[in-house]
Structure 1
Amino acid sequence: MFNGQISDIFFDLDHTLWDFDRNSELTFDKILKDNQINVVLKDFLEVYMPINLEFWKLYRENKIDKAELRFQRLRRTFDAIGTTVSDKLINVLADEYIEHLSSFTHLMDHTVEVLEYLAPKYKLHIITNGFQEIQEKKLKGSNIHGYFDQIIDSEIAGVKKPHPYIFELALNKANVAPQNSLMIGDSLEADIIGAKSAGLHTLHFNAHKESPHEFCTIIDSLIEIKSIL
């Protein structure tokens, strides 16, 4: 498919390699219980997850800052499910969520198998919009940090995917041309359209079961990478 021209592969982290949904659920289970907030976890998450995606989109578009993202996604969720939680406790939960999230280490299916397969053949890197202070902890805690040469996050870059500059910075740090690079990620907007705008090849891991598109090849499991590369 790529005619042997790929030398470097850039991965997104959350929802692509690191099982964000599962680890986030375990984190909320812990902090809601620890703070004696009486909600049904399943009901909470059903409301929280789309709100979280909505606020991450606002964050990517620089319409809110990190503090607003962390606070408002919880405030909106508790308001929506009719559970009274003070602003002070929301701030406690926001801090505890970040503190404990990286302590859970579940990976997406086949992550290690695929990294083991790719590592002898390609230089591997990470490009993530996640917060700098916890992305390294996620990588180290799940024992995949050592697979990656360059780890670029949006706080280092000063912009977030899909802004072309974060991809250009990653290419410069990896010392590779875009035509020799492949971006693999779960977000059509941030990872695929963003990387294509910077000239990279792309492969869409459709973790969210989005509608078919013609931007690039779509895979439904990471294991499919082994038949493509």
Structure 2
Amino acid sequence: MNIKHIFFDLDHTLWDFDKNSKLTFKQIIEEQGVKLNVDEFLNIYLPINLKYWKLYRDEKVSKSTLRYGRLKETFDALNYKISDDLISIISEDYIKYLPNYNHLFEGTVEVLEYLKQKYELHIITNGFEEVQNLKMQKAGIDTYFKEVITSESVGVKKPNPKVFEFALMKAETIAKEAIMIGDSYEADILGALNCGMLAIHFTNETTPKKGVINIQSLIQLKQYL
């Protein structure tokens, strides 16, 4: 492999989104006096949030619809009476508080230290631009990355090839010298492969996808890179 550039996804790949998101919601539920247990809330919210992110990725809903709709639908499903105003406050507070929690996946810093000696490292993320840079700064990993490409800055989202083409251009490289590492098979892996890049799937699936390198922990990257 003649790899010179490594592109990482951020959420669910380096930054432990589920843990940080749960802590954020716990804080908001307590602050706003919402009479729900954070676990019962998340049991309903998580699949709804996934559905909205897929719609957002496919350009079928706007950012504001995603942020409001995922909460509204969750509270409706829980039969919890709540005003639109409070949903808007929770939506805003969630984006504001989320970067304050900065748990990373085990091995993140060790692997970035190891890889930076040989490769240029970058981020490609579908996450909201206003929080992604803050997340990396507060988690202490922003200095590892030369280019941070957000889908908002490109105008389309992974797996759209334009995102990967833009990222390669920004990094001043070509597809065959680059590899993508991410948790979403559709957005990260297929998106990268369709552009001629290599890809490594970070997944805890019991039946990993065939024809692609799968890892269950970031430390395993040392076996391949």
TM-score (norm: length of structure 1) = 0.96
Residue 200 of structure 1 is matched in structure 2 by: 197
Mapped pair 1:212 → 2:200: no
Mapped pair 1:25 → 2:22: yes
Alignment counterpart, residue 84 of structure 1, candidates 72, 81, 102: 81
Within 5 A, what are the aligned runs for 1:2-17? 2=1, 5-17=2-14
- For the residue of structure 1 that corresponds to 2:33, the secondary structure is coil
Structure 1, residues 48-98: CA drift from partner, whole Å, max 9, x if none? Answer: 111111100000001000000000000111111121111111001000000
Residue 181 of structure 2 is matched in structure 1 by: 184
Residue 218 of structure 2 is matched in structure 1 by: 222
Within 5 A, what are the aligned runs for 1:3-152? 5-152=2-149
The aligned amino acid for 1:110 is G
The aligned amino acid for 1:217 is I
How far residue 215 of structure 1 moved from its aligned partner, in angstroms, is 3.8
The verdict on how the C-alpha distance between 1:210 and 1:73 changes in structure 2, with shifts beyond 3 A counting, is farther
- For the residue of structure 2 that corresponds to 1:218, the secondary structure is strand
**Superposition RMSD on alpha carbons, in Å?**
0.9
Q: How many residues align?
A: 225
- For the residue of structure 2 that corresponds to 1:89, the secondary structure is helix
TM-score (norm: length of structure 2) = 0.98
Distance 2:170 2:37 in 1: 45
Structure 1, residues 75-124: CA drift from partner, whole Å, max 9, x if none? Answer: 11111112111111100100000000011110011100100110111000
Distance 2:196 2:46 in 1: 31
The aligned amino acid for 1:204 is H
The aligned amino acid for 2:165 is E
Distance 1:113 1:186 in 2: 19
Distance 1:36 1:145 in 2: 35
- For the residue of structure 2 that corresponds to 1:161, the secondary structure is coil
Distance 1:33 1:211 in 2: 38
How far residue 210 of structure 1 moved from its aligned partner, in angstroms, is 6.2
Distance 2:18 2:34 in 1: 20
How far residue 211 of structure 1 moved from its aligned partner, in angstroms, is 3.5
- For the residue of structure 2 that corresponds to 1:198, the secondary structure is coil
- For the residue of structure 2 that corresponds to 1:102, the secondary structure is helix
Structure 1, residues 194-217: CA drift from partner, whole Å, max 9, x if none? Answer: 11111110000004x264222411
- For the residue of structure 1 that corresponds to 2:100, the secondary structure is coil
- For the residue of structure 1 that corresponds to 2:36, the secondary structure is coil
Unaligned runs of 5+ in 1: none
Distance 2:210 2:169 in 1: 28
Distance 1:169 1:212 in 2: 29
